[in-house]
Structure 1
């Protein structure tokens, strides 16, 4: 019997794995997708090769590209932007690591406290969460993003639009600031040349400013895996977990099995108790079809906001309050682009290094993409086609003309020079709403059972969510106008299911939450959740990964205390950084 089984190796699972392995527990991690052990040989900067949802290396599907991607049913128009494999969606995230806004935590009494989703707050204070933020920021590590031309233009325009700089990590007032991100700072030749022959480790270290974050980070070439620039979990927490016995006295390396799709959580009903107890998992070898089972004292679900409800329902686990899969939030994303007559460095440098935050509304961030992704972003809309027809939503505002998708001659014109574009991603502080849900399809099945069915309809969102989204799009347009844009386009995106959160939410009430304050399932003992689905709300708008990883650190500590008689460590120890020399040597010794 294992001590702990973790289902999923995306943004949260490896955090729990590393923390518990460091303390000597026997941990098994099962990941449905691939382990990209040699990214320098397996990956490229080609968009379709890496990002195609059908055959790309970074897709939601099995490791064998000849096999079809895994299907989900989407009820309303939209698109999925998730990745399977070790690292999960952090394989193509931009490393943005801001903290949640303090107003989404219990006990907050700031002057803007009435502007948040007050019925669905964290069941503990921001002051308590800060300790886990600091631990996670030191482990990854999180640093202030490298700056470039487009960042300088964004900051100058934000100030001209009436915003002031934010200092520190706690978001207490509206303003602009550099991203706090999990990308190593450029060193040596990095950031000084684009000559590939000059960007090999150790002559170059950290971020090379290549601009291909969405295609996965394999640079600098020749660097040990834990010194690759962007701190996706396959570059940070997973190498630490796989070498815990080498760098930590008393540590025990985890066992990682990829291409292992968990199809059922095993449980039994304890004598004299109403609760069920998780006892292990059943999983399927994706390549051979063989079925295996494993027992454990504790099971941790970290398969993500869509797969967790699916697995729960396919395992016939209890849902006494009807909240499994409910309350899905997605930051109600939107895309606003400025077109300039001069070069603003729109596609150079790190993909996303500057932001502005608006407590009670959400956040916006200056985001650059490669041409294929950018063209896709400009053609995704619920409003219709600019200049041709509208769908009765979106409409006019601080941008030019109707909102909607760009096509034809206009699309050719705006894509003629991508460095004359500056785009802003809108991250809405959206409400937790019961009707936004993940359940299982009544029509579609695959080798692992009924597939997930996602229902999140932008047209049925709360007034507050819609108000916040429109407010942020307007502020984005004002900043682009102040930067000198000659044309501003609001796309009015259909749902882009990227920043998914809250489908298995924690909370302080058994009436509207799946998890208690320790992220343990209320209805199943020994079953915890450690990914975005555990988040109780949309964090006020900030990107979710850091909060998920800080919460997963807290969850690991609670598991260690509650089930293995251990002590808390965050208040009395110092974290070992994932790029420390002792970790690097362990990674080299084991050839991770």
Structure 2
């Protein structure tokens, strides 16, 4: 019997695994997708090869790319951008690690207290969360982002809005700043040259400004895996978990099995309480099923797969909140066209942000060509100004919102991507009961009944809609202030990328699945440690840091409650994921 089984090796699962392995527990991690152990051989910078949702190496599917991707049902105009594999969606994130706004936590008494989603707060205080934020920030490690021309242009626009520069990690009011992100600062030749021969490790360290963050990170060339620039979990927490016996006194390395799709969580009655006892998982290649038992089971399969596995396991749902509250950040995309070079596709994808609690935030995003084309066409308003009777919203942008096509598109891209600046609108989205994951009536796949995502994106709350409109206007004002000659608002259809809260923790049993320790209210010894555990949309900030901080806290609670251990975050010092001892051990393991 194992001590702990962790289901999923994405953004949260490896955090729990690493922390508990460091305490000497026997931890098994089961990941449904592939492990890209040698990205230099397995990946490319071709966008379709990476991001095609059916055939790309970043898709939701098994290691064997000749086999079909795993299907989900969604009937509304939206796109669910998630993937399987070690590292999960952090493989194509941009490394942005802002903290959640204090206003989304219990006990917040600021003057804007009632401007947040007050029905769905964290069941503990922001002050209690701070040590866990700090632990993750030190471990990843998180630092001030490397910046270039596009950030200078973004800040030029911020200056015209009359907001102060933020100098703290905690956001206390409207402000702007460099991103706090988990991408190693460029060192040596990195950021100073485009000569490939000079960008090999150790002559170059950290970010090489390649501009392909979304295709994973495999640079600098020749670097050990835990020295790759972007701190996706496959480059940070997973290497630490696999080498816990080297850097942690008394630690025990995690066992990681990939292509292992968990199809059932087993339970039994103990002392009158339903208790998790283990899992059944299916080998994607052979189809063989295996049973593993454990003292504790941690679900970290994501906001869509966690409810699916819960339902397929026949687990109880006494308040009908399993799978409900499927929350995103109701994104939008605003583009400025400039006469001068903006450096748009170069360097770290996103290194500057503006926060405007309690509405949400803005961040600059540089994209390579195909993703840039995708971002300008994902509209809920049709073609801008044509065939729509002006349906797209109007405001301080040029004409009605919508996708840019025809002569306007030619004009927009005439100067190349280097004369554009794109701003992502990220709102504080209310948790809505009717946005949910259920089981589809369509035929099951090899892993059981498939999930159905019901997302009522045209029925947002008045507050969510207000937040999006407010931040879209701020984005347009920022771009005008930065010197854009034209500003286009796309009015994105839902891009389900920052998805969270489908298995939310909460203050009340009435509308939450998890208690304050992230343990299931209905099943003992069953915890959740990914975005689905988040109780709300965090006020708008990107979710990875908060998810990993919460997962660190959850690991500590597991160790205290079920293994008689003492807390360590308040008293210990984290080991940085770039520790050279980890590099040496990974080399010994052929990694």
TM-score tier (shorter): over 0.9
Secondary structure of 2:548's counterpart equals helix
Aligned to 1:162: 162
Shift of 1:583: 2.4
Aligned to 1:109: 109
Rounded to whole Å, the distance in 2 between the matches of 1:163 and 1:301 is: 41
Rounded to whole Å, the distance in 2 between the matches of 1:394 and 1:226 is: 46
Written as runs of structure 1 = structure 2, the 5 A alignment for 1:290-369 is 290-369=288-367
Rounded to whole Å, the distance in 1 between the matches of 2:587 and 2:127 is: 38
Secondary structure of 1:40's counterpart equals helix
Does structure 2 retain, via aligned residues, the 8 Å contact 1:277–1:526?
yes
Does structure 1 retain, via aligned residues, the 8 Å contact 2:385–2:401?
no
Does structure 2 retain, via aligned residues, the 8 Å contact 1:269–1:277?
yes
Residues 1:500 and 2:499 are matched in the alignment: yes
Gaps of 5+ in 1: none
Per-residue deviation, residues 430-477 of structure 1 (Å, max 9, x unmatched): 101101111110124211111111111221010000000000000000
Shift of 1:248: 1.7
Shift of the 243–391 alpha-carbon distance from structure 1 to 2, 3 Å rule, reads: farther
Does structure 1 retain, via aligned residues, the 8 Å contact 2:380–2:491?
yes
Shift of the 415–54 alpha-carbon distance from structure 1 to 2, 3 Å rule, reads: farther
Aligned to 1:423: 422
Rounded to whole Å, the distance in 1 between the matches of 2:512 and 2:584 is: 43
Aligned to 2:43: 43
Written as runs of structure 1 = structure 2, the 5 A alignment for 1:314-463 is 314-390=312-388, 394-416=392-414, 417-463=416-462
Residues 1:151 and 2:147 are matched in the alignment: no
Residues 1:192 and 2:192 are matched in the alignment: yes
Aligned to 2:222: 222
Q: Please, what is the CA RMSD of the aligned residues?
A: 1.0
Rounded to whole Å, the distance in 2 between the matches of 1:393 and 1:526 is: 51
Rounded to whole Å, the distance in 2 between the matches of 1:118 and 1:459 is: 22
Rounded to whole Å, the distance in 1 between the matches of 2:327 and 2:305 is: 15
Secondary structure of 1:443's counterpart equals coil
Rounded to whole Å, the distance in 2 between the matches of 1:559 and 1:34 is: 28
Shift of 1:424: 0.5
Shift of 1:411: 2.4
Secondary structure of 2:267's counterpart equals strand
Secondary structure of 1:502's counterpart equals coil
Residues 1:536 and 2:538 are matched in the alignment: no
Aligned to 1:142: 142
Does structure 2 retain, via aligned residues, the 8 Å contact 1:383–1:391?
no
Does structure 2 retain, via aligned residues, the 8 Å contact 1:344–1:420?
yes
Written as runs of structure 1 = structure 2, the 5 A alignment for 1:159-308 is 159-271=159-271, 273=272, 275-308=273-306
Does structure 2 retain, via aligned residues, the 8 Å contact 1:32–1:84?
yes
Rounded to whole Å, the distance in 2 between the matches of 1:439 and 1:368 is: 35
Does structure 2 retain, via aligned residues, the 8 Å contact 1:375–1:415?
no
Secondary structure of 1:524's counterpart equals coil
Rounded to whole Å, the distance in 1 between the matches of 2:395 and 2:118 is: 29
Residues 1:64 and 2:38 are matched in the alignment: no
Aligned to 1:77: 77
Does structure 2 retain, via aligned residues, the 8 Å contact 1:247–1:586?
no
The number of aligned residues is 590
Per-residue deviation, residues 7-31 of structure 1 (Å, max 9, x unmatched): 0000000000000011110000000
Rounded to whole Å, the distance in 1 between the matches of 2:64 and 2:583 is: 30
Per-residue deviation, residues 90-133 of structure 1 (Å, max 9, x unmatched): 00000000000000001111122121001100000000100000
Gaps of 5+ in 2: none
Rounded to whole Å, the distance in 2 between the matches of 1:66 and 1:218 is: 24
Secondary structure of 2:450's counterpart equals strand
Shift of 1:391: 7.8
Does structure 1 retain, via aligned residues, the 8 Å contact 2:384–2:392?
no
Secondary structure of 1:426's counterpart equals strand
Does structure 2 retain, via aligned residues, the 8 Å contact 1:328–1:500?
yes
Per-residue deviation, residues 460-497 of structure 1 (Å, max 9, x unmatched): 01000000000000000000001111111111111101
Rounded to whole Å, the distance in 2 between the matches of 1:399 and 1:164 is: 24
Shift of 1:584: 2.5
Does structure 2 retain, via aligned residues, the 8 Å contact 1:336–1:477?
yes
Shift of 1:66: 0.5
Shift of the 419–13 alpha-carbon distance from structure 1 to 2, 3 Å rule, reads: same
Rounded to whole Å, the distance in 1 between the matches of 2:338 and 2:178 is: 22
Secondary structure of 1:442's counterpart equals coil
Aligned to 1:562: 561
Per-residue deviation, residues 359-393 of structure 1 (Å, max 9, x unmatched): 11001100110110010110011111112133875
Does structure 2 retain, via aligned residues, the 8 Å contact 1:327–1:432?
yes
Aligned to 2:7: 7
**154-163 or 190-199: which moved more?**
154-163
TM-score, L = length of structure 2 = 0.99
Shift of 1:587: 2.3
Does structure 1 retain, via aligned residues, the 8 Å contact 2:7–2:301?
yes
Secondary structure of 1:21's counterpart equals helix
